[in-house]
C-alpha cells in the first residue's frame, strides 16, 4: 500500500503547482458595449491568456456572449420575449462564439475545448465528477477549456442562470486559485456608477455582508444578465470554497496578465480562513451510501500522510453506490477514519479492491485514474 501510494499519478497541489485561474468574460466585455462580438478586443484577451498559458498557468475561460452573437448573426430580429427566443439565439450564437474563440486562439497555435454546463451537471455528484475529469484532462493536455451555460436546451429549473455563478462553480470544479469576473466597470462601487457618477470603488471586500449585497444592483444593459448582484453571489460561493475572486474592468489594457502577476485592480474578495471546511461541507452534504474497509497501510496513508486511498488498500466494499456518492472509510476494527467520494462505483471497487492501480484498466476495461478516493474528496476524522 505504502509503495503504491508513491506510484500514483494523481495531481499534487504543491507550491510548484502552477496557478489555476478562471476568467469570466461578460457580454459587456466581449461586445465592448456594441451589439456584436468585438474581435479586436477579443484578440487582446486571447494574447494575454496565451502568454499566461505559455508561462505555465492553467487558464480556464467562462464566456458569455452567445445570445448577443446569435442576435447579431440573425440580423437583430424582433422576437417575442420568450425563453424559446433566447434559446434560439443561444443555439445560433454559441457556434459563432466558440468559432470566434477557436480562430483567435489558433493564431497562437493554442487548442481550446468547449464545455456547455447546466446546474444539473454540477449538483449531481456523478456528473460533477465527470465534468471535473473532463476539465482536468483538458488542462493536463494543455488545452484551454471554454465554458458557457448550455442555454439552448437548459430549462429554468436546471439552469445556473447567469455566468457569474457558473464561473464560481467552474472555479470549484477545477480547484482554481483565483476567479476573475471581467466586466464593464472598474469593480464594485458603493452604488451603481451608471446611476450615481459620484460612486466610489471598493478595492477589497473581506466579508460579504448584507450591506455589500444591498449596494450591488442589476445589469446596466439589456444584453448582460444579473449585473453586480450575481457577481457578489459568485464571489461568495467561490471565496467560501477557497477561490480568491476579483471583479475587474475587462477593457483595461493587460488586465488579466497584470492581475495574474499580483497587481491590485478592481475589487478583490478575499478568502475567509475557514474556507476548506466549507468546501468540504459543500461536497459532503449527503448521507453516506456505503462503507470501504481499508487495511492498516491505508489507514496510515490517509490519517498520517494525508494521501489518497488506492484500490490496493481496500479490503471490503459494503453497500451499493455510484461514483461520487459519499461513503464511510473504516479501518478493519470498524472505526470510521474518513468520509470520501469514490471515483469508482461499488461494483467496480469490489473488483479492483486489493489490486494495483496499474491493473485497473485491464480488470474493468476502463479507468478513472489511479486512486479509489482522492484526498481532495475526503474528510479525515480528527
Ligand X SMILES: N[C@@H](CCC(=O)OP(=O)(O)O)C(=O)O
Ligand Y SMILES: Nc1ncnc2c1ncn2[C@@H]1O[C@H](COP(=O)(O)OP(=O)(O)O)[C@@H](O)[C@H]1O
Q: Does 151 bind ligand Y (CB under 6 A)?
A: no
The answer to whether residue 161 forms part of the interface with ligand Y (CB under 6 A) is: no
| Contact positions with ligand X (CB under 6 A) in 121-160 | 148-149, 151
Nearer to ligand X, 13 or 76 (CB): 76
CB 70 within 8 A of CB 90: yes
Whole-angstrom distance, CA of residue 112 vs CA of residue 61? 10
- Burial grade of 181 (CB within 10 A; 0-12, 13-18, 19 or more): buried
- How far is CA 96 from each of CA 8, 27, 74, 101, 269, rounded to the nearest angstrom? 41, 14, 11, 9, 33
Quickly list DSSP for 311-324.
GGGEEEEES---TT
Query: Residue 178 or residue 225: which is nearer to ligand X going by CB?
Result: 225
**Which candidate, 132, 161, 136, 137, places its Cα nearest to that of 149?**
161
Question: Is 13:308 a contact under the CB 8 Å cutoff?
Answer: no
H or E element, residue 145: strand 144-149
Smallest distance, ligand X to C-beta of residue 147, A: 10
Annotated binding residue 228: yes
- Cβ proximity of 307 and 4 under 8 Å: no
Residues 228, 223: Cα–Cα separation, whole Å = 14
Name which of residues 185 to 244 contact ligand Y (CB under 6 A). 185, 188-189, 191-194, 215-217, 219-221, 224-228
Which is nearer to ligand Y, 146 or 312 (by Cβ)? Answer: 146
Site for ligand Y in 5-34 (CB under 6 A): 26-29
DSSP per-residue letters across 75-111: TS----SSHHHHHHHHHHHHHHHHHHHHHHHHTTT--
Torsion, CA 95, CA 97, CA 99, CA 104, rounded to 10: 180
Q: Which position among 27, 50, 175, 233 is part of the footprint of ligand X (CB under 6 A)?
A: 27
CB of 226 to ligand X, least distance (A): 5
CB of 70 to ligand X, least distance (A): 8
Does 26 help bind ligand X (rule: CB under 6 A)?
A: yes
Pick what 67 binds: ligand X, ligand Y, none; C-beta below 5 to 8 Å, kind-dependent: ligand X
Nearer to ligand Y, 234 or 373 (CB): 234
The CB-of-279 to ligand Y minimum distance in angstroms stands at: 25
Tell me: does residue 373 bind ligand Y (CB under 6 A): no
Number of residues forming the site for ligand X (CB under 6 A): 15
The 10 Å Cβ neighbour count of residue 77 is 10
**228 is in the binding site of which of ligand X, ligand Y, none (Cβ under 5 to 8 A by kind)?**
ligand Y
* Cα separation values, 48 from 111, 148, 250, Å: 15, 20, 12
Nearest to 289 by CA among 342, 249, 246: 342
- Which does residue 160 bind out of ligand Y, ligand X, none, counting CB within 5 to 8 angstroms by kind? none
Range 335-364, binding ligand X (CB under 6 A):
none
> Which partner from the list ligand X, ligand Y, none does 31 bind, CB cut-off 5 to 8 Å by kind?
none
The binder of 148, among ligand X, ligand Y, none, by C-beta within 5 to 8 A per type, is ligand X
Asked if residue 124 belongs to a known ligand binding site, the reply is no
| Under 8 Å between Cβ of 205 and 267 | yes
Numbered residues of the known binding site: 24, 64, 151, 163, 183-184, 225-231
**Binding region for ligand X (CB under 6 A):** 26-27, 64-67, 90, 148-149, 151, 162-163, 224-226
Residues of this chain that interact with ligand Y (CB under 6 A) are 26-29, 64, 183-185, 188-189, 191-194, 215-217, 219-221, 224-228
Amino acid at each position: 500500500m505504502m509503495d503504491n501510494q508513491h506510484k500514483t499519478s494523481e495531481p499534487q497541489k504543491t507550491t510548484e503547482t502552477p496557478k489555476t485561474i478562471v476568467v469570466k468574460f461578460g457580454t459587456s466585455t466581449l461586445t465592448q458595449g456594441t451589439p456584436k462580438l468585438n474581435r479586436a478586443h477579443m484578440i487582446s484577451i486571447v494574447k494575454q491568456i496565451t502568454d499566461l498559458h505559455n508561462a505555465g498557468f492553467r487558464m480556464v475561460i467562462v464566456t458569455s456572449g452567445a445570445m448577443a452573437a446569435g442576435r447579431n448573426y440573425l440580423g437583430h430580429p424582433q422576437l417575442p420575449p420568450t425563453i424559446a427566443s433566447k434559446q434560439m439565439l443561444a443555439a445560433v450564437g454559441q457556434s459563432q462564439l466558440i468559432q470566434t474563440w477557436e480562430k483567435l486562439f489558433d493564431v497562437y497555435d493554442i487548442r481550446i475545448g468547449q464545455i456547455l454546463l447546466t446546474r444539473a451537471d454540477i449538483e449531481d455528484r456523478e456528473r460533477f465528477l465527470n465534468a471535473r475529469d473532463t476539465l482536468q484532462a483538458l488542462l493536463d493536455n494543455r488545452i484551454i477549456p471554454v465554458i458557457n451555460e448550455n442555454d439552448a436546451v437548459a430549462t429554468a429549473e436546471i439552469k445556473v442562470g447567469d455566468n457569474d455563478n457558473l464561473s464560481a462553480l467552474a472555479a470549484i470544479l477545477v480547484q482554481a486559485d483565483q476567479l476573475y469576473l471581467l466586466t464593464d466597470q472598474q469593480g464594485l462601487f458603493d452604488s451603481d456608477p451608471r446611476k450615481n457618477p459620484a460612486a466610489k470603488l471598493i478595492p477589497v471586500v473581506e466579508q460579504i455582508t448584507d450591506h455589500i449585497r444591498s449596494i450591488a444592483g442589476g445589469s446596466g444593459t439589456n444584453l448582460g444578465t444579473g449585473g453586480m448582484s450575481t457577481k457578489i453571489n459568485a464571489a461568495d460561493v467561490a471565496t467560501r470554497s477557497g477561490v480568491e475572486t476579483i471583479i475587474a474592468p475587462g477593457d483595461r489594457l493587460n488586465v488579466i496578465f497584470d492581475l495574474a502577476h499580483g497587481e491590485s485592480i478592481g475589487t478583490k474578495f478575499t478568502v475567509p480562513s475557514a474556507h476548506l471546511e466549507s468546501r468540504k461541507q459543500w461536497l459532503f452534504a449527503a448521507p453516506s451510501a456505503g462503507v470501504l474497509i481499508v487495511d492498516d497501510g491505508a489507514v496510515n496513508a490517509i490519517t498520517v500522510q494525508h494521501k489518497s486511498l488506492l484500490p490496493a488498500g481496500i479490503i471490503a466494499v459494503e453497500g451499493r453506490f455510484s461514483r461520487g456518492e459519499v461513503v464511510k472509510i473504516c479501518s478493519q476494527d470498524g472505526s470510521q477514519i474518513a468520509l470520501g467520494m469514490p471515483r469508482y462505483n461499488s461494483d467496480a471497487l469490489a473488483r479492483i479492491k486489493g489490486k494495483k492501480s496499474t491493473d485497473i484498466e485491464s480488470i474493468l476495461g476502463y479507468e478513472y485514474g489511479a486512486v479509489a478516493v482522492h484526498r481532495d474528496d475526503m474528510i479525515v476524522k480528527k
